[in-house]
Structure 1
Amino acid sequence: MSVLTAAVVVVGILCVLDLLLSFGIIRRLREQNEALRDLREKQSAAEPDIMLPAGAQVGALSDVDVSGALVGFFSPNCEPCKERMPQFIEYATRYSGKVIAVAAGGAEETADIVARLGEVAEVFVEDIGDPLHTALGATGYPAVAIIGDDGVVVASGWEMSALPTLVPAAR
């Protein structure tokens, strides 16, 4: 009988120790989660906009009308661009307005981007500092925006989640 009592006491002590360790792990995970959230907030506040932010007026353009347009900037040497291009194409198929895509680089290196985006958008080949880049304040890739009919940026960012959700519509 004393062996059984001793076994029950040992199991009880092990359960209490396990419970204390579990509480410690949970507390540590919460602290790490808060630290990670704080770091992300600081990082996003420190990062400059990749293009004009929502509410900004688009600069003057003489050859292209971007009013009411979905605009995307992509570069052939950019891994995030390769990941987001299918999302942009899918979004563009549901967008009811004009779609403009900008491929950054030379004609040869952007040929694949031009071919893929040409199915859903009017595609321009430019470099940073050229008219569309300057008018929309694009400083990196990928960059996406929706421009209102009044030439004011409605939404912009480097991820498709920065744009408003669309309901499916026939083009």
Structure 2
Amino acid sequence: MPVLSAVVTLVGILCALNLVLTLGVVKRLREHTRLLAAARGEPSQLEVGEEVGEFDTTSTLGEPLVRDLLSGPVLFGFFSPTCEPCRDKLPRFVEYARQEPGGRSSVIATVVGDADGAAAFVAELSDVAHVVVEESGGALATAFRIRALPSVLRADRDAEGRYAVVDDDVTLVRPADLPA
């Protein structure tokens, strides 16, 4: 019996190690996908100064979200419940959005995936953002040319009145959060 217990314990440890290594490989593949896209000259999202494509969608609460009706800076976040880096970044995004000037009205979060799988993300984001759930290639992801998740951008009207990206790499750290 002690031999059987030892074998089962060893198999359990090997399975746990396999899981950790597999998650590491998946994370590394995501990084490589982003690097390859950049090397081919294909950014993983719109860059600073590029105009946001048109979109006309509805939030989970039935609020209409239309590019041409937006005024002022808006923080956009793109996440997926099947993405480990998204799960890691989501709490920081929620905390950052909670302190956003303009409050909930100046934050739009997109959860890429099916409604059932997105429910936990929607619940976490609903207090701080207008939340949209869409499949891959949905209206908002297409408007921002999102090819990698998570992505956090800020857009605003430029001097010509175009709605364009003003920050394509929002750090989710406010000056007050920085160590002195």
Where do 5+ consecutive residues of structure 2 fail to align? 1-34, 58-64
* TM-score between both structures, scaled by the size of structure 2: 0.61
Query: Aligned residue for 2:49?
Result: 55
Q: Displacement of 1:164 after TM fit?
A: 7.9
Question: How far is the alpha carbon of 1:49 from its aligned partner?
Answer: 2.4
Residue aligning to 1:90? 95
CA deviation string 1:97-148 (max 9, x = no partner): 4100001111100000000011110100012221111111111210110001
Amino acid at match of 1:46: A
- Note if 1:65 corresponds to 2:66: yes
Unaligned runs of 5+ in 1: 1-42
2:39 aligned with 1:46: yes
Identity of aligned residues (%): 37
Paired residues for 1:15-164 under 5 Å:
43=35, 46=39, 48-63=42-57, 64-66=65-67, 67=70, 68-97=73-102, 98-150=106-158, 151-157=163-169, 160-161=170-171
Partner letter of residue 111 of structure 1? A
Report the Cα distance in structure 2 between the residues aligned to 1:165 and 1:56, rounded to whole angstroms. Answer: 24
Question: CA 1:115–1:164 in 2, change beyond 3 Å: closer, same or farther?
Answer: closer
TM-score by length of 1: 0.64
Please say which of residues 116-125 and 57-66 is displaced more in the overlay.
57-66
Hey, what's the Cα distance between the residues in 2 that align with 1:166 and 1:94?
12
Letter in 2 for 1:154: V
Change (3 A) 1:56 1:164: farther
**How far does the alpha carbon of each residue in 1:65-108 deviate from its partner, in whole angstroms, 9 at most, with x for none?**
35421000000011100111111111111211410000111110
Q: CA RMSD in A?
A: 2.5
Does the 8 A contact of 2:96 with 2:173 survive in 1? no
Q: Give how far 1:62 is off.
A: 3.0
Is the 8 Å Cα contact of residues 80 and 142 (structure 1) preserved in structure 2? yes
Bigger CA radius of gyration:
1
